[in-house]
Structure 1
Amino acid sequence: MAGTRKKLGAALVGLAALSLTLTACGGGSSDSGGSGGGDGDAIDTSTASGEVSYWLWDANQLPAYQACADAFHTANPNVTIKITQTGWDDYWSKLTNGFVAGDAPDVFTDHLAKFGEFANQDQLVDLDPTLAKDGIDPNQYQTGLADLWKSEDGKRYGLPKDFDTVGLFYNKKFVEAAGINESDLATLSWNPTDGGTYEKTIAHLTQDTSGRRGDEPGFDKSKIKVYGLGLDGGSGGPNGQTQWSMYTGSNGWTHTDKNPWGTHYNYDQPQFQQTIAWFKTLIDKGYMPSVAAVTGQDQSSIFGAGKYAMTTSGSWSTNQLFGAKGLDVGLAPTPTGPSGQRASMYNGLADSIWIGSKNKPAAAKWVEFLGSAACQDIVGEKAIVFPAIPSATDKAVAAWKAKGIDVTPFTDQVTNKTTFLFPITDHASEINNIMTPAMDNVLSGKADVSSLTEANTQVNQLFQ
């Protein structure tokens, strides 16, 4: 968030090593805090009191969750919520260091790429016994979200808070100047052979410093004024959520043999490598910036500066991209692919309780509130993200509509069932350490796309 929930690069580096440290020192596997919370035990939330430390990474969501904390405190005056917001780049290292040091937060915002390792390290509280005791229905959320937070042994380690999909943001000024109808952006299609109408549109929207377009004679790809398509933060590593996953997904490819908890990755398959090879040609032709040019750069700032005509990003970026000063921004769905359908990765966050919390009763009561309509309605009305509860999702859609923003390209992916799940497997940090440099090298021209076959072999050896 703030364009960061998908950046699973440096944040995952080192988690594998920390895993060994946590195992050696026992992590936070003790049942501290009393009132239940051990393996299979329900927590007695009726005894909730004191202070709960809660961590999140998105500064844009902080006001909404502070409002939730205030409402919770009003209803539970014996409990105070202390929220700490830390930027994505530092969030996960501080959290894992907190596991080791014994001073991690009671409750924290969790990510699907992380919770499997955390659960295997015995760092999380199984929520099901407490939810059952308190009559909390885990099926109240958008279809499938709750089950994503179950480990391989069936224990639930997070309560859903939101979901996200991917769309195509565009600068209306550039689209109009190019003579392109906005309605045409909703019907674009792509293929790995010639890029389809999608690449034709990207090429026509690209301009060099002399004003020549990417599809005109004399176009100079070494001197770009406006890229037809932006690149969000880098190569996308193993997941490519906002970079390339919408293309691989619409080309009939899946990250793993099954999801969640697959044990075999498919980076060696033709559908994947053909798609990545085509994706790289957008850089080679000057239609999209290089990985080096965007690494460490903020996508919303580049888009806001008028350097991108279009850019793919997640629904959590809506306010940042539409809020670009002086820009008239529109939103279109991802293009239809060779499969005949469009596609979007479907991700969601949840709140988890650290096993080492010294105040589990209040922590559990807070997590239940975060997962309730009472809190999620507050979040929805602020139009920050799509809350996990359908009624709260509707409030978010209405709140964005009141601001003049049509977010149906995001929600239609869910309604039309054109989503696929963020890959949930073990060894996430090690996979990242293998695939991020491999993807960087391919998109930077340092290695052929066929090199991803060897990287895939290394990934699959982790599961043997």
Structure 2
Amino acid sequence: MKSHLRSLAVAATATLLLSACGGGQDTGEGAAAGPVTIDYWLWDTAQQPQYQACADAFKKANPQYTVKITQYGWDDYWNTLTTSFVSGTAPDVFVSHLSRYPEFAAQSQLLPITDLVAKDKVDLSQYQDGLADLWVAKDGQRYGLPKDFDTVAVIYNTDKLKEAGIKPEEMTKLTWNPQDGGTYEDVIAKLTVDVNGKRGDEPGFDKKHVATYGLGLAGSGAGFGQTEWSLYTMSNGWQYADQNPWPTKFNYADPKFKDTIRWFTSLIDKGYMPTMEIASAGTGQIDAYGAGKYAMVTEGSWNTKTYWALKGAKSALAPTPIGPTGKRASLFNGLADNISAGTDNPDAAWAWTKFLASPACQEEIVAKEAVVFPAIKAAMPKAEQAFADAGIDVKPFTMHVQDGTTHLAPIAEHWADITAIMTETMDSIFSRKSDVNALDEANTKVNALLG
């Protein structure tokens, strides 16, 4: 990889405009000839097989290109990627996240594809409404094409639900509020069981010796809380910031946010949800659920099939609870691929990036694997059928899109710094070392980053 200065990005874009693939977006045909290896990074092991299949299909259509896929875990992924930009060893193309790409774009580390999309007549209307716009940065340039989207739902252990005397239909109409938790907390309490067999709503329940927690916890959620608390905060009428994308002020000190987090962490105090010490002890949420330690969890659609593969638990889905607004809520997030500004192979990188977001990859391969929801609207029936064939009714996820209860993930500059501030604060709150008033100082620090 070469230097990542803006001048190189401009030069690379010019090269692309002269030599980029001119064929249909499904195949990437017409790209520059000659054997080229495209270095491609991703973080999700569950998605690696399907994208290897896409890479194989891409090579079949473009014999001169070979895609080398490298996978890192989530935390290692971003640290390694950041280091690679500095050392000049960044991949040609990599899976990106809405919370991360703005900073890369601001640092001229990404190749803009605005003109290439127009030149190759990529149909942006084929994607789920609103997804394509999220990959246009503050500078007005496009840096990605949507590949998938996700929402949040409740996953519960059907045997534990039956043992608690709760009917599946009850799970479809749960409500919550920050005062007493509503019927949602009632279910969480009933699903919680101590080592003596006492349930959380029974006299004599021992909250210090719990065998099964009614609700699992993956962590504090930092400043994002996608699967931890966003479904509650947003159904309580809270928004991350004054505007999205490119906020000028975050709202972490808002009373609605504080009230929601105060209620949510009270589940820890009551023994209905594990402490941060337990949640971060090394056994992840998925494995703890599979071992029977959690009766239910709130989870993203991308992990659904992983839960169904667990041998220790039979699962079903339920929608997120209805909040004080009278509606449910879920973040609406999606991934795309970015091209490194310093790629030595800009024509090949664009051909691969375009193919990844095309029907040839998303509809003909990804949709059939029942791992994620493809961003291409026409591919959703195949994806829903694939999930159904795997015994999974995904309506609790897709109903958010159909009912208009989705909220866009926050897109802001300085997200790495925001995450650092909010991780420290939220970890302290969830560890019960601080109360929610610690959010006042954190919010001030976050907003100072935005000028």
TM-score (structure 1 length as normaliser): 0.92
The separation in 1 between residues aligned to 2:113 and 2:379, in whole angstroms, is 22
Q: Which runs of structure 2 are paired with 1:159-170 in the superposition (5 Å)?
A: 159-170=145-156
Letter of the 1:439 partner, please give it: M
1:5-26 deviation per Cα after TM superposition (whole angstroms, max 9, x unaligned): xxxxxxxxxxxxxxxxxxxx96
2:29 aligned with 1:53: no
Q: How far is 1:42 from its partner?
A: 6.5
Structure 2 CA distance for partners of 1:155 and 1:453, relative to 1, 3 Å: same
Q: Does 1:456 align with 2:443?
A: yes
The farther-off stretch of 388-397 and 177-186 is: 388-397
Matched letter for residue 413 of structure 1? H
SS at structure 2 position matched to 1:113: coil
In the alignment, does 2:45 pair up with 1:67? Answer: no
Q: Is structure 2 residue 161 aligned with structure 1 residue 184?
A: no
Distance of 2:15 and 2:183 partners within structure 1: 54
Aligned amino acid, residue 297 of structure 2: T
Question: Once structures 1 and 2 are overlaid, which stretch shifts more, 36-45 or 124-133?
Answer: 36-45
In structure 2, C-alpha distance between the alignment counterparts of 1:153 and 1:122, rounded to whole Å = 11
| From 265, 271, 285, the counterpart of 1:299 | 285
Q: Does 1:276 align with 2:261?
A: yes
Find 2:319's aligned residue among 333, 344, 356. 333
TM-score (normalizing by structure 2): 0.94
Contact 1:373–1:392 (CA<8 Å) still a contact in 2? yes
Aligned to 2:26: none
> How far does residue 343 in structure 1 lie from its aligned partner after superposition?
0.2
Structure 2: distance between partners of 1:92 and 1:29: 22
Matches within 5 A, 1:348-363: 348-363=334-349
1:213 match: 199
SS across alignment from 1:268: coil
> In structure 2, the residue corresponding to 1:351 is in which secondary structure?
strand
Q: Distance in 1 between matches of 2:422 and 2:147?
A: 29
Please say if 1:420 is aligned against 2:423.
no
Q: 2:205 and 2:170 mapped to 1: Cα distance?
A: 24
Contact 2:16 2:116 in 1 (8 A): no
Q: Note the aligned Cα RMSD (angstroms).
A: 1.6
Q: Structure 2: which 5+ residue stretches go unaligned? A: 22-29
TM-superposed CA distance for 1:153, in Å, is 2.1
**Which structure 1 residue ranges, 5 or more long, are not aligned?**
1-24
Q: Distance in 2 between matches of 1:86 and 1:427?
A: 23
| Amino acid corresponding to residue 430 of structure 2 in structure 1 | L
Moved more, 79-88 or 162-171: 79-88
Matches of 2:16 and 2:310, distance apart in 1? 49
Give the distance between the partners of 2:74 and 2:262, measured in 1 at CA: 30
Q: Does the 8 A contact of 2:149 with 2:335 survive in 1?
A: yes
Deviation at 1:433, TM superposition (A): 1.1
Alignment of 1:108-187 (within 5 A): 108-187=94-173
In structure 2, what is the equivalent of residue 37 of structure 1? 13
* Secondary structure, counterpart of 1:159 in structure 2: coil
**Is 1:102 aligned to 2:88, yes or no?**
yes
**Structure 1 match to 2:270:** 285
The Cα shift of 1:29 comes to 3.6
CA distance in 2, matches of 1:256, 1:40: 37
Is the 8 Å Cα contact of residues 33 and 358 (structure 1) preserved in structure 2? no
Deviation per CA, 1:215-261: give whole Å up to 9, x if none.
Answer: 100000000000000002x1000011110000001000000101111
Paired letter, 2:117: L
- SS of the residue corresponding to residue 160 of structure 1 reads coil
CA distance in 2, matches of 1:274, 1:357: 47
Distance change >3 Å, CA 364–CA 305, structure 1 → 2: same
Q: Equivalents in 1 of 2:41, 2:153: separation in Å? A: 28
SS in 2 for 1:84: strand
**What is the aligned counterpart of 1:430 among 414, 417, 422?**
417
Q: 2:247 aligns with which of 235, 239, 262?
A: 262
Query: Structure 1 111/43 Cα, relative in aligned 2: closer, same or farther at 3 Å?
Result: farther
Shift of 1:47: 3.8
1:181-206 deviation line (CA, Å, top 9, x unaligned): 00110100000000000000100110
Kindly indicate whether the alpha-carbon contact (under 8 Å) linking 2:3 and 2:88 is maintained by their aligned counterparts in 1: no
